[in-house]
Amino acid sequence: MPELPEVETVRRGLQRLIVGRRVDTVAVDSPRSFAASPATSVARDLLGAQITAIARRGKVLMLGLAPESDGGTSARTKESTARDDATDLRATDSDPCLVVHLKMTGQLVFRGAEEHWGGGHPSDSLVDALPDRSTRVTIGFEDGSTLFFNDQRKFGWIHLMTRVEAAALDLIATMGPEPLPELDHTPDPWPEFLSRIRRHSRTSIKAALLNQTVIAGVGNIYADEADWSAYIHPATPVAQLSDDRLRELLAGVQQVMRLSIDHGGSTDRNYVDAEGRRGSYLTFANVFRREGEPCRRCGATIIKIRVAGRGTHICPTCQPAPS
DNA sequence: CACTTGACCTGTCCGC
DNA sequence: TGCGGACAGGTCAAGT
């Protein structure tokens, strides 16, 4: 389940692998996986367009495009400024972009022109020959390389839209602060996080962390890991936590996410990076998927419970239930 | 509004 | 071995 560290890992891979490439073909196997907005046209805005930069906001990826129909020189002129445009989802120009949400099982995997499907891909790749039966969208570039959008469960999507439309998406417009300021020179998330989480006083801290309008990019894995690191039971109502405890919790979110990015994210079942490789963060996880194993701090047995409708992992002694 | 639950999907795992 | 059902979880719509 791609959360911020996984999506950031994919973003870095794509930034290295596909920026500057020009789109030649698009094939859609599952119609719900791909849509164009009314203001855009696949033929005009995507085919022939050059990828300018890859941006991320929370768990959402954005592939900036410079359309060929801009008249050649304009498209190339934009390359020099493209990075600033594309890494800013609040950009107010009408250039197109591909907005991608991987949801639970989405993958974006790049294969170079020289890599024969099923043979020449990296040996440490978790995915085999492409396309496979989970391939929903295939984007071919002019040099023969290919970007595959795979999604076993079809919850993920790619939408072609203008940057103005992307910024106006409810998901993005209402999203809380980025937890890691160093990634995109975003502000310190603490004041905004505190003010937003205080609006949810009666809900559990786990539900609040999973709420993307409170803090961006946290999913089930990092919510559990952050709660453990701050000694907080996930069912604790927000109102029972002091500002200091909440600050420790945010620090926990930041710490586990930084460690995870350093290890290429978490591969629970499905996640792979832009080259099809798995992430190794779960080897360092303290509670997630560790039910029945000893707590690394106190030795008590990690248990799995249900909080906010989600499978939730805790150490019952480090994280005592709220009163 | 705040908050919870069900729907969207398909592959996997568990019990019979 | 096959089969039904529970389960996995990000987000949104619809419910209390």
pLDDT of residue A125: 73
Task: Evaluate the CA torsion angle A287, A290, A292, A293 in order and state its sign.
Answer: negative
Between the CA of A309 and the C1' of C2, what is the distance in angstroms? 31
Q: Is the CB of A210 under 7 A from strand C?
A: yes
- Backbone φ, ψ for residue A75 (5° rounding): -60, -40
Measure the CA–CA gap between A21 and A41, rounded to whole angstroms: 19
pLDDT of residue A115: 73
| Residue in the block written with tokens 């990690």 | A302
Q: Burial level of A5, CB count in 10 A (0-12/13-18/19+)?
A: buried
Nucleotides of chain B within 7 Å of a protein C-beta? 1-6, 8-11
Cα A20 from chain centroid (whole Å): 22
**pTM of the model as a whole:** 0.93
pLDDT of residue A70: 56
Q: Is A206 a catalytic residue?
A: no
pLDDT of residue A155: 93
Q: Is A3 a catalytic residue?
A: yes
Q: Spell out the domains of chain A, with CATH numbers in brackets.
A: 4-173 (3.20.190.10), 181-314 (1.10.8.50)
Q: Is the CB of A212 under 7 A from strand C?
A: yes
Q: Out of A115, A310, A316, A322, which one is annotated catalytic? A: A310
- Backbone φ, ψ for residue A220 (5° rounding): -65, -40
Closest residue by Cα to residue A78 from A54, A98, A51, A99:
A51
Q: Burial level of A185, CB count in 10 A (0-12/13-18/19+)?
A: exposed
Nucleotide nearest to A2 (CA to C1'): C10
Q: Is A199 a catalytic residue?
A: no
Nucleotide nearest to A201 (CA to C1'): B2
Which DSSP string corresponds to A248-260?
Answer: HHHHHHHHHHHHH
Contacts with A178 (C-beta within 8 Å, 6 or more apart), sequence order: A57, A58, A184, A186, A189, A216, A217
Between the CA of A139 and the C1' of C12, what is the distance in angstroms? 28
Between the CA of A226 and the C1' of B12, what is the distance in angstroms? 28
Which DSSP string corresponds to A97-160?
Answer: EEEEE-TTTEEEEEE-TTS-TTTTS-TT-SS-SSS-TTEEEEEEETTS-EEEEEETTS--EEEE
pLDDT of residue A72: 45
In whole angstroms, how large is the CA radius of gyration of chain A? 21
**DSSP annotation of A53:** E
Three-state SS string over A274-310 comes to CCCCCCEHHHCCCCCCCCCCECCCCCCECEEEEECCE
Contacts with A320 (C-beta within 8 Å, 6 or more apart), sequence order: A233
Specify the length of chain A in residues. Answer: 323
Q: Is the CB of A200 under 7 A from strand C?
A: no
Closest residue by Cα to residue A204 from A233, A231, A238:
A238
- The answer to whether the bond into A131 is cis (omega within 30° of 0) is yes
Q: Measure the CA angle with vertex A10, ends A224 and A264; round to 5°.
A: 55
Nucleotide nearest to A213 (CA to C1'): C11
Chain A span 55-114 residues with beta carbon within 7 Å of strand C: 58-60, 101, 103-104
pLDDT tens sequence for chain A (323 residues): 899 999 999 999 999 999 999 999 999 999 999 999 999 999 999 999 999 999 999 999 999 999 886 544 444 444 444 444 444 544 557 899 999 999 999 999 999 997 755 544 555 677 888 999 999 999 999 999 999 999 999 999 999 999 999 999 999 999 999 999 999 999 999 999 999 999 999 999 999 999 999 999 999 999 999 999 999 999 999 999 999 999 999 999 999 999 999 999 999 888 999 999 999 999 999 999 999 999 999 999 999 999 998 999 999 999 999 98
Closest residue by Cα to residue A5 from A186, A209, A178, A176:
A178
Q: Is A297 a catalytic residue?
A: no
Closest residue by Cα to residue A38 from A168, A174, A148, A150:
A168
Between the CA of A166 and the C1' of C15, what is the distance in angstroms? 29
pLDDT of residue A157: 96
Determine the protein residue whose CA lies at the shortest distance from the C1' of B2: A200
pLDDT of residue A114: 77
Q: Is the CB of A233 under 7 A from strand C?
A: no
